[in-house]
Structure 1
Amino acid sequence: MTLRVGLLAEGAAPYGGPVVDFAEALTKAVDRSGLSLERIQHHLAARGMQVSLSTLSYWRRGRSRPERPESLKVVAALEDLLDLGEGFLTDRLGDKRPRGRWVGQAMSIEDMWDSRATDLGEVMARIDRLQPTASTYVSVQDRQVIGPDRREVSNRCTGVVQALEDGVDRFLAIQLADATDLGVPSIEAGPPCRLGRVRGEDSTGFLVAEILFDRMLRAGETALVDYTVRMRPGADSEVCDRRFLRPVGEYTLQIDFHPDAVPARCYEFARPSLQEPETALNDLWIGTTASTHIHVRNIKPGIRGVRWEWE
């Protein structure tokens, strides 16, 4: 069973060059049309295209750009909807951005979720008037509990989130259930944060939840977060990972196994993106408390996690 945890609020930095040209062209076209992003989203949905308000806002602000075939179809529809010439926006995208490199720039949602990015967008679209927030983890710790039946019980996340611009008061936590799970997990938040809107769909396996800070942040200010995801597993657990869209200063992942369910082998792995294979890094020692962990500093965008074998 796979546990995947992400943070959508990790707004990507502008890529510069052609991406900024695309963002500026889209912004001017939207402003000229007089349509809100909500109305644009509604018109696209009427054409059978599901895209989240977060994605549209990211495109406008140059924080990400459309690259997947599904996204490019949305861009073509925008050209028609906004009364632009064919190729007006598409031609401004430039060459496809290199993928899968361990670089300091941010990655897009599509890098981290691949073909599931469309499913994620559909779930996000069900949160009315959702707007992305420019924030990122300074440090984060995950603590996963495995029960006596070898199945995951819960994952608690605590961390420090920093605002990248003024007016940030929340971020989005994302959880993807494994195909063998009995349904999407539940989520709860503890002080000093609390839950906002929550959407989950068994059909896609995604859970998307707003984690609300105890105050509105200015750029550079930080907030503490504390939330717990409770699983509905249907098979043995084998892996826990987190997907980082932006560089993070410090990450700790702790796995607490039940004394009656200790795996035969446990190791750390890394994956630059879903387009590249996993690389096993280090075998991990499981101590007398049936627990193991990894602690990583200066993490680049990508996937980091722990995998284990029962036999």
Structure 2
Amino acid sequence: MSAIPETDLQRALRHGPFPAALHLAIEARDMSLEALQARLFERGVAVSLSTLSYWRRGRSRPERDTSLKAVTALEEILGLPRDSLAGLLGPRRARGRWLDRPAGAVPLAKLWRDPQTLAEIYCGLPDDRLERVSIEDEYTVDADGRAETLSCRLCVRAEDDRVARCLIAYWAEDREGMAPEVTGTRHCRPGRVRDAEGFTVVELVLDRVLARGETAVIGYSLRLPAQKDPVDDFSRRFVRPVREYALTVVFDQARLPSRCVGYQRLSVDGPDRWAEELWPSRSGAAQLVFLDTAPSLVGIRWDW
């Protein structure tokens, strides 16, 4: 008696890789990612559509505890044997960006509460190999107290030959709907965009290729996603020292904060290393300038 032929799904569940097994399991159940996300939510597991898509296509993989919980739920929803998907993941991988950091850099975990997701998004994108000499941010808040736009000007210096890409990251904790939208660039153009679990990483392609030591000034503007509640803080993370950082938060005249404080922290959950009250101008702008910024979080928070 001849053996029953093994299906593609059975073969993928036995031998992997994980993305192929997940894709074939979804296809076998004829489920959309939206339906899969809804079923996960019913089980108390929140996973973004972009994250599910990344797992399915192999652009990132589940590694955090909450992501592994989602994989267990996926096995139940897709009618798969227990640990059939989780068993294909193997041990957690060490990330190159953590192990081979440039001089003066600090681990992502020191500045982000969810560094693994950011590392997963970075995976597969080229390191931009650009030193940030100076950064100038302008962050606008609308009349409802919600984030509206972010415009940034950067002076960068190439640390190697033939450098033409700059990576920027943005994070919003309780955003609703779409990722930030690149609405304008200066001396560069948007390339690949990756988005998962509140993080967005955008690749900016410079107008010219830089040789080692060459500098360039570039800029970009983002239309920020809607958030559930009014915002009360904006900060930038510096994993490496920066010579100059300038931040302006512009409030709508119809809703000005009662108090603004500029601050610096050396870690995401650490105490303020420095804090000083700021007085918004007549136009509703609160500003701070930092020179020789060490790896840290620098920002402005406010009370309504």
With the shorter chain as reference, the TM-score category is 0.5 to 0.7
Question: Do residues 145 (structure 1) and 183 (structure 2) align?
Answer: no
Matched residue SS, 2:122: helix
Matched residue SS, 2:112: helix
- 8 A Cα contact 1:50 1:122, kept in partner: no
From 118, 126, 143, give the equivalent of 1:131: 126
- 8 A Cα contact 1:150 1:261, kept in partner: yes
RCO (CA 8 Å, sep 6+): is it higher in 1 or 2?
1
Letter in 1 for 2:204: I
Letter in 1 for 2:148: V
Q: Which residue of 1 aligns with 2:230?
A: 236
From 196, 219, 225, give the equivalent of 2:212: 219
Letter in 2 for 1:210: E
Q: Which residue of 1 aligns with 2:112?
A: 113
Q: Percent identity?
A: 29
* Structure 2 stretches lacking a partner, 5+ long: 1-57, 64-85
* Cα distance in structure 1, aligned partners of 2:128 and 2:190: 15
- 8 A Cα contact 1:177 1:183, kept in partner: no
Matched residue SS, 1:190: strand
Letter in 1 for 2:128: T
Larger mean CA deviation between 250-259 and 131-140 belongs to 131-140
- 8 A Cα contact 2:262 2:277, kept in partner: yes
Show structure 1 runs of 4+ deviating over 3 A.
Answer: 48-52, 180-183
Q: Which residue of 1 aligns with 2:245?
A: 251
* Cα distance in structure 1, aligned partners of 2:104 and 2:231: 32
Under a length normalisation based on structure 2, what TM-score does the superposition of the two structures give?
0.66
* Cα distance in structure 2, aligned partners of 1:169 and 1:144: 26
* Cα distance in structure 2, aligned partners of 1:144 and 1:57: 28
Aligned residues: 221
Matched residue SS, 2:229: coil
Query: CA shift at 1:122, angstroms?
Result: 2.4
Matched residue SS, 2:267: coil
Deviations 1:141-184 (A, max 9, x none): 00011111111101101110111121211111101112254443
User: Aligned ranges for residues 1-311 of structure 1 at < 5 Å?
Assistant: 46-48=88-90, 55-56=95-96, 59=99, 62-63=100-101, 105-114=104-113, 116-125=114-123, 129-201=124-196, 204-232=197-225, 233-279=227-273, 281-310=275-304
- 8 A Cα contact 1:159 1:225, kept in partner: yes
RMSD over equivalenced CA pairs, Å: 2.5
